[in-house]
C-alpha cells in the first residue's frame, strides 16, 4: 500500500510541476463553464420545465466531450514519460509489483481528474445558489461522469504503456475512445443483431442514462468492466518487457 | 558452457546466475551465462557494446525474467521471490533514471519510500547516501538543474540508499569528466571496503583494473572469462616474459641467453631494423639499445642469471623488466578469439 501511495503522490505532484496541468485545468474549467452557461441559456430561452431531460442531459453530454478532449492529455505521460526518461527501469528493480505501479499511476490520474470535476461543479453551485434544484439527477450525472472519466483514464493508462512517445499514447487513446463512441453510428453496415451487440459495447450509449438522472446496474457494470479490462491490458503491456525488452 | 573460472550454484554467493539465457523473438541476446559474486567482492563486467552486459544485468536485477536459467540475489530468486530479492539490491541503470522535476531530497525520499525503508530511518538513510555520494550541498536543488556528474551521483545515492548488500552499477562513469570519474571510483572502492557486493559494468578497462578483484568478460552474449586479471593473463599466456634492453645484441648473446635454465625462448623484439642492432657508435641508437624478449616457464625468477649473463657478455645491460599483459590486451585477445565485435 505504501508503494502505491508513494507512486500516486509523486505522480500527482508531478502534474503540477509543469504548465501543462494548469493549461488543462484552465481549458476544462473554461469549456465546461461555457457549455453550462449555453445549456442554461438554451433551457431558459425555450421555456423548458423538466431539468433532467431539458438541462442536465445536455450539460453532462457536453461535459463528456470536454472530458474526452482533456483526459487523453492527462494520461499520455503516465508511462510514456517513464520510458523516455528510463525511470521505468528503476521502478522495475525496486521492491514494488507491476500492479502497484499501475494502481499508483491510476490513482494519481484519477486525483487530477477529481480536481477537474470539482472545478466543473462550480457552475452547478452558482446555479443552485440562485435557483435551488433537486440534487438527485445531477448527482447521477456526476456518477456517470466519474465512471466515464475513470474509463478514459484506464484506457489512456494502457495506451501510455505502449510507447515512449506521449503523442502516440494520446492518439491511441483518442482512437480507441472515439471508436467506442462511433461504433453504433453506422447502422447500415450491420443487421439488427449486430447493432444490438455494438450498442452493448458502446461507451457513450451507457452514459446517456446517467446524463438523464438514472443509474442502471448494467451501465455501472459495463463501466467497471471497461475500467478493469484496460487496467489489465496496461498490466500485461507492462509485463511484455519479458519478450520485447526494455526499449 | 559460460561458467568459466567459477562454479555457479553453490548457494553461498551474494549474486548467483545459473545458465541465464535470453532471446527476444528469434534473436538470442544472451546464452548460457553463469557466474557468482561473493559478499564484499567488487567485480567488473566487461564487454564491447552489444555484448549483452545490460541484458544480463537486467535479468539479474529482475527487470525482466530470463528465457531460461535463474538468478538469485542474497539467496532469493529474482523472479519467484522478486520483492525479497529487490530489497537487497541497489541498482544504477545505464541511463541514469531521475525525475528532472523533483528536488534531490524529494527524489531520494521517493526512492526511500519505494524501498520501504522504515519511516524512522529515512532521514538518517538519506543523509548517509548523500554523504557517501557527495551531494549534500545540492540537496535542495532540482535534479533537472544539476550537471551530468551530479546527476550521476544522485543516481548512485539512490542505488546505495538503505545500504543494500548488493549494488549493481551499469556504466557509472559514462560521460563524466576525469575528476568526477576519480570521485566515483573512490566511492565504489569504498562500497567494497564496506563489505558490500558490487557489480560494475563498464567498457573502460583501466577502471576495472583499478577497482575490481575479478572480471567477467562477455562477448557475443556469452561469458568468455571469469577470473582475476592476473590469472587471466596466465591462462592466455602460458609463459612469463621479461624485456631486456641491451646496448648491443649479437647472435652469441642470444645463444648464451637461450642457455639459461628455464628460458624457453629468446627473440629480438619484432620490427627492430637490423642496422640498429649493429649501430655501435651511433649515440641515439645505442641509447635506445636493442630490446630482447625472454620467455620463461612460470614459477621461476631468473632475473639475476639473465643480468649476469648480459654483463658477462659485455652487451651493456640498459634495462630489465617483467612484461605483464594489460587488461586491455587480455580483453582484446578474449573478445578477438570469440569473434566478438
Q: What confidence tens digit (pLDDT) does each residue in B85-120 have?
A: 999 999 998 887 799 889 999 999 999 999 999 989
> What secondary structure does DSSP assign to A22-64, as a single string?
HHHHHHHHHHHHHHHHHHHHHHHHTT---HIIIIIHHHHHHHH
Give the tens place of pLDDT for each residue, A162-201: 989 999 999 999 999 998 888 776 666 667 777 777 777 8
The CA distance from B202 to B190, in Å, is 18
Which residues face B227 on adjacent strands? B215
The radius of gyration computed from the CA coordinates of chain B, to the nearest angstrom, equals 25
- The verdict on a CB contact (< 8 Å) between A94 and B82 is no
Test the A interface: residue of B91, B106, B114, B161 with most A CBs within 10 Å: B114
Radius of gyration of chain A from its Cα atoms, rounded to whole angstroms: 19
CATH architecture of B238-324: 2-Layer Sandwich (3.30)
- Residue spans of the domains in chain A: they are 2-241
Note the pLDDT of residue B71: 94
pLDDT confidence of residue B104: 95
Residue that has been written with the C-alpha cell 469549456 in this structure: A31
**What is residue A108's predicted lDDT score, i.e. its pLDDT?**
96
Phi first, then psi, for residue B164 (nearest 5°) are -65, 145
CB contact under 8 A, B97 and A85: yes
Would you state the CATH architecture of domain B15-235? 3-Layer(aba) Sandwich (3.40)
pTM for the full predicted model: 0.81
Residue ranges per domain, chain B? 15-235, 238-324
Nearest by CB: B61 against A85, A88, A93: A93
CA distance B88 to chain A (A): 9
B220: left (phi over 0), alpha (psi -120 to 50) or beta: left
Q: Given the C-alpha cell 652487451, which residue does it identify?
A: B315
Residues 6+ apart with CB under 8 A from B119: none
Residue of A nearest to B85 (CA): A95
pLDDT tens for residues A105-140?
999 999 999 999 998 999 999 988 988 888 889 999
Size (chain A), residues? 247
Give the integer Cα–Cα distance in Å for A89 and A105: 16
Q: What is the pLDDT of residue B341?
A: 43
Write down the pLDDT at residue A189: 64
Candidates A232, B188, B70; CA nearest to B62 is: B70
Please report which helix (H) or strand (E) contains residue B217, including its range.
strand B214-219
Instruction: Please say if the pLDDT value at position B287 is more than 60.
Output: no
- Give residue A74's pLDDT: 95
3-state class (DSSP) for residue B133: helix
Determine contact: B201 vs chain A, CB below 8 A.
no
Whether the per-residue pLDDT at B338 is higher than 60: the answer is: no
- The span from the CA of A51 to the CA of A33, in Å, is 18
How close is the nearest chain B Cα to the Cα of A31, in Å? 29
SS3 (DSSP) at B291: strand
CB A224 within 8 A of CB A151: no
Query: Does any CB of chain B come closer than 8 Å to the CB of residue A247?
Result: no
The pLDDT value recorded for residue B316 is 87
Q: Is B221 on the interface with A (CB under 8 A)?
A: no
Query: What would the mean pLDDT of B111-136 be, rounded to a whole number?
Result: 91
Any residues with CB less than 8 A from the CB of B76 and at least 6 apart, and which? B84, B85, B88
| Confidence class for position A31, pLDDT limits 50, 70, 90 | very high
How much is the pLDDT for B9? 45
From the list A163, A166, A178, the residue with the least C-alpha distance to A240 is A163
For residue B56, what is the nearest residue in chain A, using CA coordinates? Answer: A245
B98 close contact with A: CB closer than 8 A? yes
Instruction: Name the strands in the sheet holding B89-92, side by side, starting at the edge strand that comes first in the sequence.
Output: B89-92, B166-170, B197-202, B42-46, B214-219, B222-227
Amino acid at each position: 500500500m505504501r508503494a502505491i501511495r508513494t507512486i500516486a503522490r509523486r505522480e500527482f505532484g508531478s502534474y503540477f510541476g509543469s504548465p501543462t496541468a494548469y493549461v488543462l485545468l484552465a481549458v476544462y474549467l473554461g469549456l465546461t463553464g461555457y457549455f453550462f452557461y449555453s445549456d442554461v441559456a438554451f433551457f431558459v430561452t425555450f421555456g423548458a420545465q423538466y431539468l433532467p431531460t431539458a438541462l442536465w442531459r445536455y450539460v453532462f453530454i457536453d461535459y463528456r466531450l470536454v472530458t474526452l478532449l482533456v483526459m487523453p492529455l492527462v494520461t499520455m505521460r503516465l508511462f510514456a514519460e517513464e520510458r523516455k526518461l528510463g525511470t521505468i527501469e528503476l521502478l522495475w528493480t525496486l521492491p514494488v509489483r507491476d500492479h502497484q505501479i499501475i494502481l499508483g499511476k491510476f490513482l494519481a490520474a484519477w486525483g487530477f481528474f477529481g480536481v477537474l470535476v470539482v472545478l466543473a461543479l462550480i457552475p452547478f453551485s452558482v446555479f443552485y445558489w440562485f435557483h435551488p434544484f433537486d440534487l438527485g439527477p445531477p448527482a447521477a450525472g456526476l456518477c456517470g461522469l466519474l465512471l466515464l472519466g475513470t474509463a478514459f483514464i484506464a484506457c489512456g493508462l494502457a495506451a501510455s504503456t505502449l510507447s515512449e512517445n506521449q503523442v502516440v499514447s494520446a492518439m491511441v487513446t483518442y482512437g480507441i475512445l472515439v471508436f467506442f463512441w462511433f461504433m453504433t453510428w453506422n447502422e447500415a453496415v450491420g443487421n439488427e443483431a449486430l447493432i444490438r451487440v455494438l450498442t452493448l459495447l458502446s461507451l457513450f450509449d451507457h452514459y446517456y442514462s446517467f446524463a438523464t438522472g438514472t443509474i442502471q446496474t448494467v451501465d455501472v457494470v459495463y463501466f467497471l468492466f471497461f475500467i478493469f479490462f484496460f487496467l489489465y491490458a496496461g498490466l500485461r503491456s507492462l509485463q511484455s518487457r519479458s519478450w520485447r525488452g526494455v526499449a | 558452457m559460460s561458467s568459466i573460472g567459477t562454479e555457479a550454484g553453490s548457494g553461498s554467493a551474494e549474486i548467483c546466475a545459473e545458465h541465464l539465457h535470453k532471446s527476444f523473438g528469434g534473436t538470442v541476446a544472451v546464452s548460457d551465462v553463469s557466474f557468482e559474486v561473493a559478499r564484499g567482492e567488487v567485480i567488473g563486467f566487461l564487454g564491447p557494446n552489444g555484448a549483452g552486459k545490460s541484458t544480463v544485468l537486467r535479468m539479474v536485477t529482475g527487470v525482466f525474467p530470463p528465457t531460461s536459467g535463474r538468478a538469485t540475489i542474497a539467496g532469493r530468486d529474482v523472479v519467484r521471490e522478486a520483492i525479497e530479492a529487490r530489497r537487497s539490491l541497489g541498482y544504477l541503470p545505464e541511463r541514469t533514471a531521475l525525475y528532472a522535476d523533483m528536488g534531490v531530497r524529494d527524489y531520494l525520499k521517493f526512492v526511500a519510500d519505494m524501498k520501504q525503508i522504515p519511516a524512522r530511518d529515512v532521514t538518517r538513510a538519506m543523509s548517509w547516501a548523500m554523504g557517501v555520494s557527495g551531494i549534500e550541498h545540492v540537496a535542495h536543488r532540482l535534479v533537472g538543474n544539476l550537471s551530468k556528474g551530479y546527476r550521476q551521483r544522485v543516481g548512485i545515492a539512490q542505488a546505495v540508499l538503505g545500504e543494500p548488500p548488493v549494488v549493481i552499477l551499469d556504466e557509472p562513469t559514462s560521460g563524466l569528466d576525469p575528476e568526477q570519474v576519480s570521485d566515483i571510483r573512490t566511492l565504489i572502492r569504498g562500497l567494497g571496503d564496506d563489505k558490500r557486493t558490487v557489480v560494475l559494468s563498464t567498457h573502460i578497462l583501466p577502471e576495472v583494473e583499478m577497482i575490481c578483484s575479478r572480471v567477467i568478460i562477455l562477448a557475443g552474449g556469452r561469458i568468455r572469462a571469469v577470473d582475476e586479471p592476473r590469472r587471466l593473463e596466465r591462462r592466455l599466456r602460458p609463459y612469463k616474459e621479461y624485456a631486456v634492453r641491451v646496448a648491443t645484441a649479437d647472435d652469441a648473446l642470444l645463444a648464451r641467453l637461450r642457455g639459461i635454465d628455464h628460458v624457453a625462448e629468446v627473440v629480438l623484439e619484432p620490427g627492430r631494423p637490423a642496422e640498429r642492432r649493429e649501430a655501435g657508435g651511433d649515440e641515439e641508437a645505442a641509447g635506445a639499445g636493442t630490446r630482447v624478449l625472454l620467455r620463461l616457464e612460470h614459477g621461476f625468477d631468473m632475473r639475476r642469471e639473465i643480468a649476469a649473463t648480459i654483463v658477462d657478455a659485455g652487451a651493456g645491460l640498459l634495462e630489465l623488466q617483467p612484461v605483464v599483459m594489460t587488461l586491455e590486451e587480455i580483453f582484446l585477445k578474449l573478445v578477438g578469439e570469440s569473434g566478438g565485435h
